[in-house]
Structure 1
Amino acid sequence: MKKILVTNDDGIDAPGIKALEESMSELGEVIVVAPLSQQSATGRGFTLGSPVRVNKRDDNHFSVDGVPVDCVFIGMTKLVKDVDLVVSGINIGANLGIHSLMRSGTCGAAFEAANLGVPSIAVSIESTPEEAHNMEGSHLFDEAQKIMKKLVSGIIEKGLPGDVKMLNVNVPIGEPKGVEVTRLGEEYVTPLLKEVEDSVYVIGGVIEPKEKPGTDIYTLHDERKISITPIAIEGFEHGIIDFGEWLKKI
């Protein structure tokens, strides 16, 4: 059986990672190595020079008192031998565009796996935490589970094509109107800085999806399709044509 390492940035007890584990368990042996607590927007950061504690819940579940990249690095070098694939998510909130991709802990975990030579997928759904809470017990993750099963089955059977090392998948709320292979857009969430008292600030953001056809942002927001962006570590624009042909065959 293929070994699939599952992680996220919302924490090991988040509903999205449980949905992802459930869908992946049909395709291989699943080992969950995920942060103990919420680690959104930690990007590709490591915990350097400070101890990182790992708690073994059982043979297939480990919580890490660190960031998502720590989870993948520790998981692949210490906890799990011969990982075949890493999947990160299912994140609450889309990770669209180059800037969100760089900030996202969900994507950072997938990047680390790709750097370590293992194919990876980051998957997110278009939802705010409030919407997700209100939809608890519904079929919030169904479409993400479906596309992930298809993609992972394809990777297990054929591998990723050409220079592609990682996929960034974003799924709209509701029934998707299709699936599109996309390139990265620019800014999806515009950062905002709020001063709550003298010299005390809160960093937030507002979603402002303004993009052209063919980008992940446009595909999700304007066309209401699942966006799949192939990532080559050597450069973000590589691999789109190869991956489009690959996707048709799975």
Structure 2
Amino acid sequence: MDEPHVLLTNDDGIDSVGFRALYDALSAFTEVTAVAPKGDQSAVGRAMSREVDVEEHDLGYAIHGTPADCTVVGLEALCPDVDMVIAGCNRGANLGAYVLGRSGTVSAAVEAAFFDVPAIAVSLYVPGADGEWQHAADETHHYRNAAEATRYLVDHAVGAGVFEQADYLNVNVPIHEPGDDLAPIEITEPSTLYDMRAERDGDRIGLTDNVWARMREGTLPDPQGTDRRAIVEGRVSVSPLTAPHTSEHHEALDALAETYH
């Protein structure tokens, strides 16, 4: 793609380190318009507002709304001529099929797919115990794998015909430390492992995603070719995905419909 125009959004907020890392990397060879949430909008899924306030920002526009809001207002009102939407880089991985609908980062890319605009969601896997990851990856150099993989995909994916089959790419990358080699890319599928737990303590019930603990312990059963297996082994996971829900002919439902009175 020759000098593409990219809409860059995220869910951590326009002033986050990961957002700046991608903005700087993409600005080196593309026109970038930032349309991102004013503050943290993590894990809001495809929540949509009826109206949002817009502020001018040094990088573009800060939106008082969700990532999906940002995609819609960007493509409809602020920069309708963009060639691609990039969402990220999120601090925290978005891995597994069950996470796709929860993630604000991924949801911004899904929203773009309904506009027939190619999109890439980019997230950083930060190992660590509960809470520790939120205080890690606080320098732009930690996002070098994200920056380089995203640059490569923006530059080559459209011309290679990737988006003739995929609506969007869900990309997860390892953290980069000084002296590390760049992580290689692996094409993956979202893991289907689901391990949510709920434990009651009196009037409160705690919800825990036990997958993260299993990732730290190295006890995941995810096979080769899945996004989580790639990321725990130090590779960039790229999952080509489609946005619309599919519908298939279902004989059992046909029979129920025929007997309904």
**TM-score normalised to structure 2 length:** 0.79
Which of the two has higher C-alpha Rg? 2
Of 126-135 and 148-157, the range deviating more from structure 2: 126-135
Q: Write the distance in 2 (CA, Å) between the matches of 1:149 and 1:24.
A: 6
After superposition, the Cα gap between the structure-2 partners of 1:47 and 1:194, relative to the gap in structure 1 and judged at 3 Å, is farther
Matched with 1:217 is 228
Of 211-220 and 91-100, the range deviating more from structure 2: 211-220
The letter of the residue matching 1:9 is: D
Matched with 1:104 is 103
Matched with 1:240 is none
TM superposition outliers: structure 1 runs of 4+ over 6 Å = none
The letter of the residue matching 1:212 is: P
1:105 Cα offset (Å): 0.3
The letter of the residue matching 1:179 is: I
Q: Which runs of 5+ in 1 are unaligned?
A: 237-250
**TM-score normalised to structure 1 length:** 0.82
Matched with 2:209 is 205
Matched, 1:33 2:32: no
| Partner secondary structure for residue 228 of structure 2 | helix
Matched with 1:8 is 10
After superposition, the Cα gap between the structure-2 partners of 1:126 and 1:53, relative to the gap in structure 1 and judged at 3 Å, is same
Matches within 5 A, 1:66-105: 66-105=65-104
Q: Write the distance in 1 (CA, Å) between the matches of 2:200 and 2:228.
A: 26
1:203 Cα offset (Å): 4.9
Matched, 1:178 2:177: no
1:156 Cα offset (Å): 5.0
Matched, 1:57 2:57: yes
| Partner secondary structure for residue 29 of structure 2 | coil
After superposition, the Cα gap between the structure-2 partners of 1:224 and 1:137, relative to the gap in structure 1 and judged at 3 Å, is closer
1:122 Cα offset (Å): 0.3
Equivalent residues of 2:92, 2:133 under 8 A apart? no
How many pairs were matched up?
230
Equivalent residues of 1:47, 1:70 under 8 A apart? yes
What is the CA RMSD across the aligned residues, in angstroms?
A: 2.5
Q: Which runs of 5+ in 2 are unaligned?
A: 247-261
After superposition, the Cα gap between the structure-2 partners of 1:46 and 1:189, relative to the gap in structure 1 and judged at 3 Å, is farther
